Structure 1
């Protein structure tokens, strides 16, 4: 899903339901690997060199590298801003977010080969693309309801 905000729906919902996850790291992790399709399409790397739109960084190995770099970048940001952080929590959060992104994309896009170096995608076509979009949209809707309606009504009872 290059250039779409759809990954943010599941990211917001899961970070709300699983308080262990660092919200900012998880949100960024769910969209950061789309720098690859952005660069490929911006520089016509797919047409000029045959580089797939979803290449190495849309694999669990490549995504894992991105996630660990993100975790350390977030630790650096938190350190210079004086915010407390747990490095293990940042790593787990970043890996979870990136892997969620890759998993969703591997269901939708035939060029995503998540199990590199193996050139297959057992998840591709597991469901219709429309279902993935609806899952992402309904995740966002569920987060909105939980965050702003149910939470505020519960707080009103306290």
Structure 2
């Protein structure tokens, strides 16, 4: 992918369908960790740009890094985010700082392996199964345009579903509060 941000659409989609079992911050950490390799070789103007971290073996090591190092870093970042929120935005933008091990592991694995698959489709210098095979059978399976549109559509749908989930949660919480108040008033 030409920019790590394109990968985030899949993460938003996953977060929207499995909100309790998927950590979007760990997913983002995973994407960035993998693409540091490509950035390094782009800056040095060396080819190939996609090397060890852009293999399934390298991605597996990134999963471990994301769970063991990325999870606590993301939790710290979320806590910092929450402390910087102004009170009027707190209800809208507060994020629970606790990331379960399961959510971190699922997000890291999905993030790493989907990253390798998408980059394998897009970049000719990818060797996703190295060192076992230097063949990239995924390259060009679909056009770059269609791959980008897929990621953008996933991101858009993910945002819509997350928004609907948030709106529904707000309505349900308001209904529960009203019921509790009615029960409390009947008791008096």
Q: TM-score, normalization: structure 1?
A: 0.83
Contact 1:36 1:53 survives alignment (8 Å) = yes
Equivalent residues in 2 for 1:24-63 (5 A)? 24-46=25-47, 52-63=48-59
Q: Please name the residue that 1:136 is paired with.
A: 151
Contact 1:31 1:101 survives alignment (8 Å) = no
Contact 2:55 2:129 survives alignment (8 Å) = yes
Q: Please name the residue that 2:65 is paired with.
A: 69
Distance of 2:45 and 2:36 partners within structure 1: 14
For structure 2, list consecutive stretches of 5 or more residues without a partner in the other structure: 80-96, 173-188
**Larger Rg computed on CA atoms:** 2
Q: How many residues align?
A: 151
TM superposition shift of 1:70: 1.6
Contact 1:6 1:137 survives alignment (8 Å) = yes
Distance of 2:62 and 2:126 partners within structure 1: 16
Residue aligned with 1:7, SS: helix
TM superposition shift of 1:24: 1.1
For structure 1, list consecutive stretches of 5 or more residues without a partner in the other structure: 47-51
More helix by share: 2
Equivalent residues in 2 for 1:7-156 (5 A)? 7-19=7-19, 20-46=21-47, 52-77=48-73, 78=75, 84-117=98-131, 118-148=133-163, 150-151=164-165, 154-155=168-169
Distance of 1:131 and 1:79 partners within structure 2: 36
TM superposition shift of 1:17: 1.1
